[in-house]
Amino acid sequence: MDFGLTEEQRLLQENVRPYLEKEIAPLVDDYEQRGPLTRAETIDFIKQLMPWGYYNGRASEDFGGANLDAKTYGLLQEELSRVWPGLCGTLWIAGGTGSAVGLSDSDHRELRDRMRAGESISAGGITEPDHGSDSSRMETRAVLDGDNWVINGTKAWISNGPICDHINLNVTIDPALGRQGVRSIFVNRETSPFETVRQNRLLGVRAWPNGELRFDNVTVPRRNLRARPQGEAQAAGETKRVWHFEAPRTLLAIMAVGIGQAAIDASIRYARERHQFGRPIASFQLIQEMIVDMVIETDSARFLAYRAMDLQDKGEDSSWQSSAAKAFATEMAVRVASKAIEIHGALGLMEGYPIERYFRDARSLTIPDGTTEIQKLIIGRQLLGVSAIS
């Protein structure tokens, strides 16, 4: 495995980092304190950051993408998360197209044009109030009525749900079939309206919109249903196949790495500046130990994440490696951000100063796309050949 950056990736990193520090970093605390981004704010950020490849960057140019490989896309996400994980999550999910592959030519064209303009916000709806880790059984139901599916049900904790223009929903077409009855369906909010019943305020990533959505007799064209549930579908316009939850799990891992790096950078800076007992606290061995541990942990998570992306770039299976990256990196970021608080003393706990935000943001990433426990059970299933879940 080659861990070195290509010349192109190195240049991208060298350019995007100062850009984000200058243009985005000064905005973060204000937006995070205000709460979830509005649709208009999100579109503005998409347009601002799209030229870097932040929106739908892995897709072809036809879909507003930049044809990026997984590692280059990951590198961009790491840099944005170092500055603002909440925006990183919002933009990454906004650019998704999921099961749009099966759409009619005209719907496909419309979506493509909107994505090219950076004016389309996506979401993915799997979780329901009574179905979280176990997403094999869905209560949200689609019933065929002539040329349409009629959808009824509730989706919970949906990233970008309150502001999305379209959503890929996991629904059951026959509850008696259990897992076999689950499909993904593409719902265009404009033509098939649905309601946001709750805007969630979470511990961290507060600017990243999250909400509960209700579908009451929502009518969707028959052709929008795909043969497979979400997570097994190839995203529209993507140049490489990524199945299951490998890509999102790896992206959450790299977001956690970005937070870890931000915590390290801030801690090194502070440890050099802050004096106690007549010396910089950086000169105390216990402070050095904390910083060294933070670096070892963050780098280990980085290797796991890029290893999974490397497999994805080669078109190889990365399922347990993505779960390992997600489980380790998100838990690692909590530990690293906690050490950053310790190094900053009381200042680390102060609202409006970024250190406590790193901790809150990190703590929020162990849950989505499968909790740490679920990732471990997925890895165990693959390594042992016996499933502890189903």
Ligand X SMILES: Cc1cc2nc3c(=O)[nH]c(=O)nc-3n(C[C@H](O)[C@H](O)[C@H](O)COP(=O)(O)OP(=O)(O)OC[C@H]3O[C@@H](n4cnc5c(N)ncnc54)[C@H](O)[C@@H]3O)c2cc1C
Query: Which residues are at the interface with ligand X (CB under 6 A)?
Result: 124-127, 132-133, 157-159, 202, 205, 210, 364, 367-371, 373-374, 377, 389
* CB closer to ligand X, 313 vs 361: 361
For the chain, list the strands marked E by DSSP.
Answer: 122-125, 141-145, 148-159, 166-172, 182-188, 195-199, 210-221, 275-276, 279-280
* CB closer to ligand X, 72 vs 99: 99
* CB closer to ligand X, 282 vs 365: 365
The whole-angstrom separation of Cα 208 and Cα 80 is 13
DSSP 131: B
Q: Which residues contact 48 (CB under 8 A, 6 or more apart)?
A: 23
Q: What share of the chain is helix, strand, coil (3-state, %, to 5)?
A: 55, 15, 30
Answer yes or no: are the C-beta atoms of 94 and 42 closer than 8 Å. Answer: yes
* CB closer to ligand X, 297 vs 369: 369
Q: How far is the CB of 347 from ligand X (least distance, A)?
A: 27
Q: Which residues contact 301 (CB under 8 A, 6 or more apart)?
A: 253, 256, 257, 260, 325, 328, 329, 332, 333
Q: How far is the CB of 356 from ligand X (least distance, A)?
A: 18
Answer yes or no: are the C-beta atoms of 142 and 172 closer than 8 Å. Answer: yes
Q: How far is the CB of 390 from ligand X (least distance, A)?
A: 9
* CB closer to ligand X, 312 vs 364: 364
Q: How far is the CB of 204 from ligand X (least distance, A)?
A: 8
* CB closer to ligand X, 336 vs 362: 362
Exposure of 275 by Cβ count < 10 A (0-12 exposed, 13-18 middle, 19+ buried)? exposed
Q: How far is the CB of 6 from ligand X (least distance, A)?
A: 32
DSSP string, 71-110: HHHHHHHHHHHHH-HHHHHHHHHHT--GGGGGS-HHHHHH
* CB closer to ligand X, 255 vs 290: 255
Alpha carbon 207 to its chain centroid, in Å, reads: 13
The whole-angstrom separation of Cα 314 and Cα 235 is 17
Q: How far is the CB of 171 from ligand X (least distance, A)?
A: 12
Q: Which pair of structure tokens corresponds to residue 297?
A: 């942990």
* CB closer to ligand X, 197 vs 202: 202
* CB closer to ligand X, 83 vs 158: 158
Print the SS3 string covering 181-228.
HEEEEEEECCCCCCEEEEECCCCCCCCCCEEEEEEEEEEEEHHHECCC
| Residue of this chain nearest to ligand X (CB atom) | 132
> In angstroms, what CA-CA distances link 264 with 205, 340, 348, 364?
19, 7, 13, 19
Q: How far is the CB of 71 from ligand X (least distance, A)?
A: 24
Q: How far is the CB of 200 from ligand X (least distance, A)?
A: 8
Q: How far is the CB of 189 from ligand X (least distance, A)?
A: 15
The whole-angstrom separation of Cα 53 and Cα 65 is 6
* CB closer to ligand X, 136 vs 283: 136
Q: How far is the CB of 156 from ligand X (least distance, A)?
A: 7
At residue 35, the 3 state secondary structure works out as: coil
